[in-house]
Amino acid sequence: MKFKFYTMLAILAGFIGCKNKEGKDITLPATDNPAKVDLYMPTNGGASTQLSLYGNNFGTDISQIRVTVNGVDATVTGSNGRVITATVQKNSGSGPVMVFIGKDSQTQELTYKYPFQYQTQFLISTYLGKETAGIDDGNFTTTTLRRPRYLRWGVDGTLYFIEEGENTSGNGGIRVAKDNKVTTLVRNTTSGGAFDRIRSIDLNLNEDKLFVSNDIKVTGSIGLGAYNRGADGFANLAPISTTSGLTLVRTNPVSGEQFVAVYSGAKICKLVNGNLQQLCQLPGPDGTTPMSSANVNALVFSKDGQTIYIVTRDKQAIYKANYDIASGAITQVALFAGAIGKSGYVDGPGTSAMFNNPCQADLDADGNLYVADRSNSCIRKISPDGGVTTYVGIGGTAGFKDGDQKSALFKNPEGCQFGPDGALYIADFDNNRIRRVFVE
């Protein structure tokens, strides 16, 4: 009997005297006294929110404690037996808060009464440029920009961007931002040069060619051309087409084919053996009759390369179409959002919404389309089912202000593309800056 008594006493002392790897005393919850939850705070917040979860008999060994928010594991940082502290992770979402005590078959599952309300946190900042317009190259803090209007990120983290300008006095050009340094690839400052009004740029799948579309409004000699990558970057411009009014070039992310938008005839073409092969014409308000012209500012492909979103700046409309990679056919071209030929600022379902000079656009991982709505000075978000909302900026209010989603201001933004860090980058045309929208 004495042996059993002293054995039980030793086991009890072992539990009470357990230490964690830092040498601190820890306790485990008693199996005959189940854990209970009471309340937690705060009940809303975003990524990195510190939760305090109150209850009883949690134990202090955090290796035996798990906390989830909406099914996503929070990082448990401590417990004194009555209060657990944990950190909410990015993109957890809104949902129930649960505590799991113990492991395997001995795990106790406990759910708090009220779900956590996840609040997305926006941070809008300036990535490049400053108030003063200019074309000075240099590091990211000293360089100046002049009317940035179109963006293209490379997989290596290089940002290529277009600055607007017409003829020799416009100083339009293509610039490159990488490793805290901005350089200029080309400017249309020479009379009779290759470019007059550069409209878009894109890379091929291998990223060893940089395609450039130019609408040859006055003196430019190239409608579509491509730079080849060398040891020191892109150089050796090769002309491809002298067709005028080429407003856009875009590479299919799966097939690697180049698609080109032509202003006259509202045509979408494919580059085949150096020639532009017409695939479709965009329909007008009746849904069937082709339009005589369209200023296409964006072609956005889905990840599988089989869905195309087409943004027409002058027609205030976004189309959606199917692309069959095997046959090379574009089909089912239909209005997706906006009202053809009618400008305005209205959020709402697809064709009930209104835009005012929509420009470049890009898709997120969930299939939402983001559009730089130039003359409304904001960025619009279109859900996969066509619902249009204002993402950042205040519709119809131009200005400059970094900050959060509700207070940030833009002035005639034209460029819009996601970067390799997951942030959305905006070419803020009349603020002479490239802005960054980061969501926690």
Q: In the chain, how many domains are there?
A: 2
Per mean pLDDT, which range of 3-12, 30-39, 46-55, 177-186 is the poorest?
A: 3-12
Residues 348 and 426 in one domain: yes
pLDDT above 70 as % of the chain: 89
Q: CA angle 129-213-262, nearest 5°?
A: 125
Domain boundary (86, 118, 150) is at 118
Which CATH number do you get for residue 422? 2.120.10.30
pLDDT at 399 over 50: yes
Domain boundary (118, 134, 163) is at 118
3-class SS letters over the chain: CHHHHHHHHHHHHHHHCCECCCCCECCCCCCCCCCEEEEEECCEECCCCEEEEEEECCCCCHHHEEEEECCEEEEEEEECCCEEEEECCCCCCCECEEEEECCHHHCEEEECCCCEEECCCEEEEEEEECCCCCCCCEECCCCCCCCEEEEEECCCCCEEEEECCCHHHHCCEEEEEECCEEEEEEECCCCCCCCCCEEEEEECCCCCEEEEEECCCCCCCCCEEEEEEECCEEEEEEEEECCCCEEEEEECCCCCCEEEEECECCEEEEEECCEEEEEEECECCCCCCECCECCEEEEEECCCCCEEEEEECCCCEEEEEEEECCCCEEEEEEEEEEECCEECCECEEHHHCEECCEEEEEECCCCCEEEEEHHHCEEEEECCCCEEEEEECCCCCECCECECCCCCEECCEEEEEECCCCCEEEEEHHHCEEEEEEEC
Residues 107 and 142 in one domain: no
DSSP bridge pairs for 203? 210
* Residue 214 counted as domain residue: no
Residues 128 and 59 in one domain: no
- State pLDDT tens for residues 214-235: 876 545 578 899 999 999 899 9
Domain boundary (118, 138, 173) is at 118
At residue 292, the pLDDT reads 96
* Residue 338 counted as domain residue: yes
- State pLDDT tens for residues 230-249: 998 999 888 999 888 999 99
- Mean pLDDT, the chain, rounded, equals 90
Residues 49 and 134 in one domain: no
At residue 191, the pLDDT reads 54
At residue 218, the pLDDT reads 43
pLDDT at 19 over 50: no
* The residue type at 237: L
- State pLDDT tens for residues 55-97: 999 999 999 999 999 999 999 999 999 999 999 998 899 999 9
Q: Domain of residue 191: give its range.
A: 123-195+281-439
Kindly state the tokens that stand for 208: 């060893």
DSSP bridge pairs for 324? 329
pLDDT at 8 over 80: no
Residues 433 and 294 in one domain: yes
Residues 86 and 140 in one domain: no
pLDDT at 252 over 50: yes
Residues 137 and 49 in one domain: no
Rg (CA), the chain: 28
Which CATH number do you get for residue 113? 2.60.40.10
At residue 242, the pLDDT reads 87
Compute the average pLDDT of residues 337-347: 97
Q: How far is CA 33 from each of CA 30, 59, 299, rounded to the nearest angstrom? A: 5, 11, 63
Residues 170 and 82 in one domain: no
At residue 189, the pLDDT reads 62
- State pLDDT tens for residues 260-319: 999 999 999 999 999 999 999 999 999 999 999 999 999 999 999 999 999 999 999 999
Residues 398 and 293 in one domain: yes
